[in-house]
């Protein structure tokens, strides 16, 4: 018997992120809103961790942690969580989040939202909750679409919906509103790939096993896609549903699994097959790139499928009459590989029990049958002592998976580092400033490192204005604030220095404006003020009065007139001046020095008497006489 396993079999990236998160976050005071994924066995394991599933926010205490599943939730849920101090751990699939953004944006623009999918599906329920206007949900091309007539419509789909059915519904809607419908193809590419591979595997098989939760929409869709090509489609929730007698006369058996099906469930089905048939040969089937027939076309014309004629396969080499006992079969290798991948993931946090202590380190109980050695260099202690840890046998410790290659490597020390890093990141997420040294650059901006996180500063976020030579920033200290933290595949902080610089500039300008306002409120024309001469020009002197620059024009320095400001005033010295003019709108104040000095003609009577003979300088002659300076 040959077994064909679809290459894209099991968890998609969105589901894997949600499940990994559920198994890594602290269980205490953590809740999940709705079933995390459509798989009863996985959900049961999560509940065993101590994380309950709730159907309503009313069941979540204030200040608790709430994990949002990959299907997403209505927008209002986030606002209610924020109001109650509930910390949201958002595992919404990136494709679903994109659909939510489309619904929100287009509905705000006044457009009607049309969604292909199942109205009761949690993803669709969530999408409806992001709309600010009319929403219609269609699940079949037989639905009535006249409700959309004459309206500006945006059409998108549940990410796990049938590509064939979406195309048919789209054609019907285009006939109802031919010029007013905009179509977004939001079905996840993983879903499309999985559906195409299912069609291909089904064509090659006498029977096909479709594994996954019975309430999983995308898994049920795989069974529907397989049925035109394969007479025997067997729907399995898990290995408990598998009955070998149903396939024992088949020469070719296909296996596909939904996006919510963990590898270990597929592995358990394979093990059952191996127990009943020692001659099982396993082949991993083709990926999307080699599938030529789109699912939509295949499903539309099932009679064209070569279901009656098996696809030719390369002849397998004859097995030796008596294989050595130690030689592993293809089935053994597949099962071993799936087992290995299903247990651990790099960065995963585990709670393990100490079972023994040696000179090299300690042994702890893992998820498999064999105990795992933690090297003493990876233990969180100042100096390792076998006797110290021997006294701790039976105690639980928290560790992190640092290497999944056999034998798996665990570290207690890394847990502390992660906790310290997360504490630091908590402050960063709350808006605290942090500093890094720029280590590199690329076309888009600057790069740096902060612990295990990569830091990226887009070029537009370095400072206000264009930064031409990014290479000159390498080695310089950057003061940053977080724009976004990504924790999915590559841990990365997107940050900005510009927001800090602009905030500081705004603060300086605000302080300056406040100071100026206080200054103008404190003076009026005629006041006598004291100021320090800061600088001189050809037309006067700038004098600092209570920190504000005022102008003493050269014409207001002396009653007799001067050629140079420095003939009267000295830079750095303080003098008294009289306020002559205030222009608050243009932030100008004119002051005079001579106005506080005696006028020469006022003292002339005291200095000169009638009949005195004096010497003077003729300064100008006019028709009626001459002006003489004394």
Catalytic residues: 123
Helix, strand and coil percent figures for the chain, each rounded to 5? 35, 25, 40
Taking each helix axis as running N to C, give the angle between helix 40-48 and helix 13-24, from 0 to 180 degrees, rounded to the nearest 10: 20
Angstrom CA distances, 350 to 24, 343, 410, stand at: 7, 11, 9
**C-beta of residue 307 within 8 angstroms of C-beta of residue 29:** no
Q: How far apart are CA 361 and CA 375, in angstroms?
A: 5
The DSSP string of 83-129 is: HTTPEEEE---HHHHHHHHHHHHHHHTTPEEEEES-TTSHHHHHHHT
Strand runs labelled E in 378-505: 396-403, 409-411, 434-437, 440-441, 445-450, 453-458, 477-486, 492-496
Q: Which residues sit in the known binding site for dimethylallyl diphosphate?
A: 38, 71, 121, 216-218, 260
The burial of 625, by beta-carbon neighbours within 10 Å (0-12 exposed, 13-18 middle, 19 or more buried), is given as exposed
Q: Mark 164-190 as b/e (b = at least 16 C-beta within 10 Å).
A: bbbbbbbebbbebbeebbebeebbbeb
Tell me the CA end-to-end span of the chain in Å, nearest whole number.
129
Look at the alpha carbons of 386, 388, 394, 396 in this order and tell me if their dihedral is positive or negative: negative
State how beta strands 135-138 and 87-90 pair. unpaired
Q: Which residues are annotated as a binding site for [4Fe-4S] cluster?
A: 12, 93, 188
Q: What is the DSSP string of 407-442?
A: SPEEESHHHHHHHHHHHHHHHHHTT--EEEE--EE-
- Known binding-site residues equal 12, 38, 71, 93, 121, 159, 188, 216-218, 260
Q: Which residues, other chains included, contact 348 with Cβ-Cβ below 8 Å and sequence gap of 6+?
A: 20, 23, 24, 400, 401
Per-residue tokens: 155: 């059409």
> Whose structure tokens read 């101590």?
50
E-strand stretches of 293-427: 349-357, 361-365, 371-375, 396-403, 409-411
Annotated binding site for isopentenyl diphosphate: 38, 71, 121, 216-218, 260
**In the Cβ-directed half-sphere of 412, how many Cα atoms lie within 13 Å?**
23
How far apart are alpha carbons 156 and 473 in whole angstroms? 44
């Amino acid at each position: 018997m040959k077994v064909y396993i679809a290459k894209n079999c099991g968890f998609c990236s969105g589901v894997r992120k949600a499940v990994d998160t559920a198994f890594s976050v602290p269980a205490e005071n953590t809740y999940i809103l709705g079933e995390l994924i459509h798989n009863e066995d996985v959900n049961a394991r999560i509940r065993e961790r101590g994380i309950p599933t709730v159907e309503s926010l009313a069941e979540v205490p204030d200040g608790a942690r709430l994990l949002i599943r990959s299907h997403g939730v209505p927008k209002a849920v986030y606002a209610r969580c924020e109001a109650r101090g509930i910390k949201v751990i958002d595992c919404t699939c990136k494709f679903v989040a994109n659909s939510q953004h489309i619904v929100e944006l287009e509905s705000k623009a006044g457009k009607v939202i049309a969604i292909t999918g199942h109205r009761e599906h949690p993803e669709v329920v969530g999408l409806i909750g992001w709309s600010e206007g009319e929403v219609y949900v269609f699940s079949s091309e037989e639905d009535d679409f006249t409700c959309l007539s004459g309206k500006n419509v945006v059409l998108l789909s549940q990410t796990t919906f049938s590509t064939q059915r979406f195309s048919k519904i789209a054609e019907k809607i285009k006939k109802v509103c031919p010029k007013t419908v905009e179509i977004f193809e939001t079905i996840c590419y993983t879903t499309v790939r999985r559906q195409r591979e299912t069609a291909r595997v089904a064509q090659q098989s006498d029977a096909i096993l479709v594994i996954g939760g019975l309430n999983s929409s995308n898994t049920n869709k795989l069974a529907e896609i397989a049925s035109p090509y394969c007479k025997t489609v067997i729907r399995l929730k898990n290995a408990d549903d598998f009955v070998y007698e149903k396939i024992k006369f088949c020469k070719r058996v296909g296996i596909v699994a939904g996006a919510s099906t963990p590898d270990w469930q597929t592995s358990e089905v394979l093990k059952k097959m191996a127990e009943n048939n020692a001659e099982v040969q396993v082949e991993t089937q083709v990926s999307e790139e080699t599938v030529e027939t789109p699912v939509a076309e295949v499903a539309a014309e099932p009679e064209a499928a070569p279901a009656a004629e098996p696809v030719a396969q390369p002849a397998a080499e004859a097995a030796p009459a008596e294989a050595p006992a130690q030689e592993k079969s293809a089935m053994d290798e597949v099962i071993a590989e799936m087992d290995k991948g299903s247990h651990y993931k790099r960065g995963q946090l585990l709670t393990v029990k100490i079972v023994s202590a040696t000179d090299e380190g300690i042994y702890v109980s893992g998820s498999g049958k064999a105990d795992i050695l933690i090297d003493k260099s990876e233990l969180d202690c100042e100096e390792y002592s076998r006797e110290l840890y021997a006294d701790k046998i039976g105690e639980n410790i928290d560790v992190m998976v640092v290497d999944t290659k056999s034998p798996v490597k665990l570290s207690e020390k890394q847990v502390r580092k992660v906790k310290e890093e997360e504490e630091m990141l908590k402050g960063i997420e709350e808006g605290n400033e942090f500093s890094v040294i720029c280590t590199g650059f690329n076309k888009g901006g600057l790069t740096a490192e902060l612990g295990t996180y990569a830091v990226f500063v887009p070029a537009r976020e370095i400072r206000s204005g264009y930064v031409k030579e990014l290479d000159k920033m390498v080695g310089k200290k950057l003061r940053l604030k977080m724009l976004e933290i990504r924790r999915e595949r590559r841990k990365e902080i997107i940050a900005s220095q510009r927001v800090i610089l602009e905030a500081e500039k705004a603060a300086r300008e605000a302080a300056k404006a406040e100071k100026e306002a206080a200054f103008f409120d404190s003076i009026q024309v005629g006041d006598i003020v004291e100021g320090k001469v800061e600088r001189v020009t050809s037309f006067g002197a700038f004098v600092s009065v209570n920190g504000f620059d005022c102008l003493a024009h050269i014409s207001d320095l002396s009653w007799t007139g001067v050629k140079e400001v420095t003939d009267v005033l000295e830079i750095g010295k303080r003098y008294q001046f009289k306020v002559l003019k205030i222009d608050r709108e243009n932030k100008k104040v004119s002051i005079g020095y001579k106005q506080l000095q005696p006028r020469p003609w006022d003292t002339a009577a005291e200095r000169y008497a009638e009949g005195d003979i004096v010497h003077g300088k003729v300064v100008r002659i006019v028709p009626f006489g001459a002006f003489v300076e004394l």
